[in-house]
Amino acid sequence: MAQWEVCSDCKIKTIAEAIENASPADTIFVLKGIYREHELTLLKSLHLIGVGNPVIDGMEMGEILGIQADSVTVTGFTFRNVKLSHTKDNAAIHVFRSNHFTIENNILEDVFFGILLEKSKYGKIRNNKVSGNSLKEFQSGNGIHVWDCSFMEITNNTLHALRDGIYFEFVDESVVSGNLSYDNIRYGLHFMFSNHDQYFGNTFRNNGAGVAVMFSKFIDMRDNIFEKNWGASSFGLLLKEIYDAEIVNNTFRENTIAINVDGSSRINYTQNDLISNGWAIKITGGCYENIFSTNNFIGNSFDVSYNSKMNDNRFEDNYWSNYAGYDLDRDGIGDVPYRPIKLFSYIVNRTPETIVLLRSLFIDLLNFSEKVSPIFTPDDLVDLSPRTQIIP
């Protein structure tokens, strides 16, 4: 387990030379400086340690660092200038068929793809800052892109100005926590066909859309913040064919649509705060056995939009800021049930252009008439036990 030093005044002046000479389990210390190198490949279990934040400049010549060995560590570097390509997913760090590796405390600037992980297990991606500079989706890659992997820990990273901040596909038994993903062109987090995963303590802000969860099951999303994801078809959280999930104690603030649900079943939405969104919850067909319980709906333009049968979905014990009922016995539960769907929401679903009338007196009268004599809004979509105080 030898140690090697790389610097302009050292015996070994390039990272490539140090990698070539090192033996498995050796440590390579790269001292402060700028190293113009690319297509570096680790085929041995090495520890690559940056001292004084050295810069590896790929000069837009291709990928910078490839990892194809187990038990590798890469920490303390700035990676810069990854080549944009329309035929190859060039990355600052590309991990392929590696297990038990750690990539932490790095800065990745002006990247196409930042960290690309394929067919690997037991990886730790921690405390990295990843950024791109593209303004269009077809010119940009993802910050942390994970494909066909398991047992990954993606924690405390900052990602912005990318296509997707974090992308998962066929990734199981993994954790995404404490990350900040903002100002990305498409999604803050995008994952598909990925099961038994946990997402907690993340912030997704001002992305094209916040988080898209598709074709997955056994998902646990807790203590996340989804905010300021605005746009004509934007949302904080999109659920498409998701099953057996927990959406708990999240904050959805100032999104066009806070939660958009399509064909998803057996999901518990509990103790979430939905504040100042366009639509708090939009539900389309094929949803069964979902429970919306003890959530706070505060100051949304529309609390619920629902265009299918109620099936066996339930709303219970939620706080609704638009609730105008009374609580004579002062038990904290309204004595009058609350129906969260307004007639105007039904009209906007059918004719989106009518949204320009949102704050008009005419709409207030329309919603009042539907409340007195409901015709279009579903009778069975009702919270029988609305809370009269915000749920802490």
Domain ranges (residues) in the chain: 1-207, 228-341+377-392
pLDDT tens digits, 81-116: 998 887 788 999 999 999 999 999 999 999 999 999
Torsion of CA 69, 72, 74, 80, to 10 degrees: 0
Segment 321-328 mean pLDDT:
89
- Two structure tokens written together for 29: 């210390």
Closest to 257 (Cα-Cα) out of 209, 195, 292: 209
Segment 329-356 mean pLDDT:
71
Architecture in CATH of 1-207 = 3 Solenoid (2.160)
DSSP state of 307: -
Cβ neighbours around 323 below 10 Å, total: 21
Segment 41-63 mean pLDDT:
96
pLDDT score for 333: 95
Measured distance CA(238)–CA(278) in Å, rounded = 15
Segment 271-289 mean pLDDT:
92
Query: Would you say residue 41 has pLDDT above 90?
Result: yes
Binned at pLDDT 50, 70 and 90, residue 379 comes out as low
pLDDT tens digits, 112-170: 999 999 999 999 999 999 999 866 666 789 999 999 999 999 999 999 999 999 999 99
Query: Would you say residue 352 has pLDDT above 70?
Result: no
Residues 6+ apart with CB under 8 A from 45: 24, 25, 69, 70, 71, 72
